Amino acid sequence: MFMECSTQLTISDVNDVETILGFKLPQQLKEHYLQFNGGVPVKPCYYAQEVDLETEIAEFSPIKHKNSSKLLEERYLDLINRDVLPNKYLPFANDWGGNLFCIDLENDSVVLIWMDLGEVTERSINFLSNNFVTFINNLEASEVD
Protein backbone atom coordinates (compact mmCIF):
# COMPACT_ATOMS: atom_id res chain seq x y z
CA MET A 1 0.00 0.00 0.00
CA PHE A 2 2.93 2.36 0.69
CA MET A 3 6.46 2.57 -0.72
CA GLU A 4 9.61 4.26 0.58
CA CYS A 5 8.49 4.17 4.21
CA SER A 6 10.80 5.12 7.05
CA THR A 7 11.86 2.76 9.86
CA GLN A 8 8.94 0.77 11.29
CA LEU A 9 7.53 2.23 14.50
CA THR A 10 6.97 0.53 17.83
CA ILE A 11 4.30 1.41 20.39
CA SER A 12 7.12 2.96 22.44
CA ASP A 13 8.06 5.22 19.48
CA VAL A 14 4.45 6.38 19.18
CA ASN A 15 4.27 7.03 22.93
CA ASP A 16 7.47 9.12 22.70
CA VAL A 17 6.00 11.23 19.90
CA GLU A 18 2.71 11.68 21.79
CA THR A 19 4.74 12.98 24.74
CA ILE A 20 6.57 15.45 22.47
CA LEU A 21 3.29 16.63 20.92
CA GLY A 22 1.42 16.79 24.23
CA PHE A 23 -1.59 14.80 23.02
CA LYS A 24 -2.62 11.31 21.93
CA LEU A 25 -2.62 10.64 18.21
CA PRO A 26 -6.01 9.66 16.75
CA GLN A 27 -6.35 5.85 16.93
CA GLN A 28 -6.83 5.28 13.17
CA LEU A 29 -3.77 7.39 12.38
CA LYS A 30 -1.74 5.57 15.02
CA GLU A 31 -2.71 2.15 13.65
CA HIS A 32 -1.78 3.22 10.13
CA TYR A 33 1.62 4.57 11.20
CA LEU A 34 2.45 1.38 13.10
CA GLN A 35 2.08 -0.38 9.75
CA PHE A 36 3.44 2.29 7.37
CA ASN A 37 5.73 5.01 8.75
CA GLY A 38 5.37 7.77 6.21
CA GLY A 39 6.10 6.97 2.59
CA VAL A 40 4.37 7.26 -0.74
CA PRO A 41 0.98 5.64 -1.29
CA VAL A 42 0.74 3.26 -4.25
CA LYS A 43 -2.63 4.91 -4.92
CA PRO A 44 -1.74 8.60 -4.41
CA CYS A 45 -4.79 10.39 -5.85
CA TYR A 46 -7.85 11.69 -4.07
CA TYR A 47 -10.97 12.81 -5.92
CA ALA A 48 -13.69 14.70 -4.06
CA GLN A 49 -16.46 15.06 -6.64
CA GLU A 50 -18.85 16.94 -4.35
CA VAL A 51 -16.38 19.85 -4.13
CA ASP A 52 -14.76 19.29 -7.55
CA LEU A 53 -11.32 18.57 -6.10
CA GLU A 54 -8.52 16.39 -7.46
CA THR A 55 -5.18 16.13 -5.73
CA GLU A 56 -2.19 13.82 -5.52
CA ILE A 57 -0.28 13.00 -2.36
CA ALA A 58 3.47 13.52 -2.74
CA GLU A 59 4.27 11.75 0.52
CA PHE A 60 3.20 11.02 4.06
CA SER A 61 5.46 12.48 6.75
CA PRO A 62 7.29 9.86 8.82
CA ILE A 63 7.21 9.80 12.61
CA LYS A 64 10.38 9.71 14.76
CA HIS A 65 12.66 8.20 12.07
CA LYS A 66 13.54 10.64 9.31
CA ASN A 67 13.84 9.55 5.70
CA SER A 68 13.62 12.32 3.10
CA SER A 69 11.01 14.63 4.55
CA LYS A 70 10.32 16.56 7.71
CA LEU A 71 9.00 14.46 10.57
CA LEU A 72 5.27 14.71 11.30
CA GLU A 73 5.94 15.96 14.83
CA GLU A 74 8.54 18.52 13.65
CA ARG A 75 6.22 19.89 10.96
CA TYR A 76 3.28 20.19 13.37
CA LEU A 77 5.30 21.93 16.10
CA ASP A 78 6.96 24.27 13.58
CA LEU A 79 3.63 25.34 12.04
CA ILE A 80 1.97 25.78 15.44
CA ASN A 81 4.90 27.72 16.93
CA ARG A 82 4.89 30.09 13.94
CA ASP A 83 1.07 30.51 14.19
CA VAL A 84 0.69 29.29 10.61
CA LEU A 85 -1.80 26.51 11.33
CA PRO A 86 -4.59 26.20 13.91
CA ASN A 87 -3.42 23.64 16.50
CA LYS A 88 -6.45 21.41 15.90
CA TYR A 89 -5.02 20.33 12.51
CA LEU A 90 -2.28 17.68 12.48
CA PRO A 91 -0.56 17.56 9.06
CA PHE A 92 0.34 14.01 8.04
CA ALA A 93 0.98 14.38 4.30
CA ASN A 94 1.46 16.96 1.58
CA ASP A 95 0.71 17.30 -2.12
CA TRP A 96 3.20 18.35 -4.79
CA GLY A 97 2.40 22.04 -4.20
CA GLY A 98 3.08 21.90 -0.45
CA ASN A 99 -0.58 21.90 0.57
CA LEU A 100 -1.25 19.87 3.71
CA PHE A 101 -3.44 16.86 4.35
CA CYS A 102 -4.44 17.13 8.00
CA ILE A 103 -6.47 15.23 10.53
CA ASP A 104 -8.79 17.41 12.60
CA LEU A 105 -7.94 16.52 16.19
CA GLU A 106 -11.41 17.57 17.39
CA ASN A 107 -13.47 15.23 15.18
CA ASP A 108 -10.96 12.95 13.34
CA SER A 109 -12.03 14.20 9.89
CA VAL A 110 -9.45 14.67 7.13
CA VAL A 111 -9.03 18.02 5.40
CA LEU A 112 -6.75 19.49 2.75
CA ILE A 113 -5.42 22.93 3.63
CA TRP A 114 -4.28 25.19 0.81
CA MET A 115 -1.06 26.73 2.08
CA ASP A 116 -0.52 29.06 -0.89
CA LEU A 117 -3.51 31.32 -0.17
CA GLY A 118 -1.77 33.23 2.60
CA GLU A 119 -3.23 33.02 6.09
CA VAL A 120 -5.17 29.82 6.79
CA THR A 121 -8.89 30.66 6.81
CA GLU A 122 -12.09 28.67 6.31
CA ARG A 123 -11.69 29.35 2.57
CA SER A 124 -8.40 27.44 2.48
CA ILE A 125 -9.71 24.36 4.36
CA ASN A 126 -11.29 21.64 2.22
CA PHE A 127 -13.16 18.77 3.88
CA LEU A 128 -12.19 15.40 2.37
CA SER A 129 -13.39 12.60 4.63
CA ASN A 130 -15.14 11.83 7.93
CA ASN A 131 -12.17 9.79 9.16
CA PHE A 132 -8.66 8.64 8.32
CA VAL A 133 -9.51 5.06 7.29
CA THR A 134 -12.18 6.24 4.85
CA PHE A 135 -9.69 8.73 3.41
CA ILE A 136 -7.06 5.99 2.89
CA ASN A 137 -9.65 3.61 1.41
CA ASN A 138 -10.73 6.26 -1.11
CA LEU A 139 -7.25 6.89 -2.51
CA GLU A 140 -7.04 5.94 -6.18
CA ALA A 141 -4.36 5.15 -8.71
CA SER A 142 -3.26 7.95 -10.99
CA GLU A 143 -5.20 8.12 -14.28
CA VAL A 144 -2.03 9.15 -16.13
CA ASP A 145 0.96 6.83 -16.22
Which tens digits make up the pLDDT trace of 53-111?
A: 899 999 999 999 887 678 999 999 999 999 999 999 999 999 999 999 999 999 999 99
Provide the 8-state DSSP code for 136: H
Residue 10 is part of a domain; what is its CATH number?
A: 3.40.1580.10
Alpha helices (H) in 50-103, listed in sequence order: 72-81
Residues in the chain: 145
| Domain tally, the chain | 1
Which pLDDT does position 118 carry in this prediction? 80
Query: In this structure, is residue 95 part of a structural domain?
Result: yes
Query: In this structure, is residue 71 part of a structural domain?
Result: yes
Average pLDDT, the chain: 93
Query: In this structure, is residue 145 part of a structural domain?
Result: no
Provide the 8-state DSSP code for 140: B
Which tens digits make up the pLDDT trace of 9-42?
A: 999 999 999 999 999 999 999 999 999 999 999 9
Query: In this structure, is residue 99 part of a structural domain?
Result: yes
Which pLDDT does position 145 carry in this prediction? 53
| 36: containing domain | 2-137
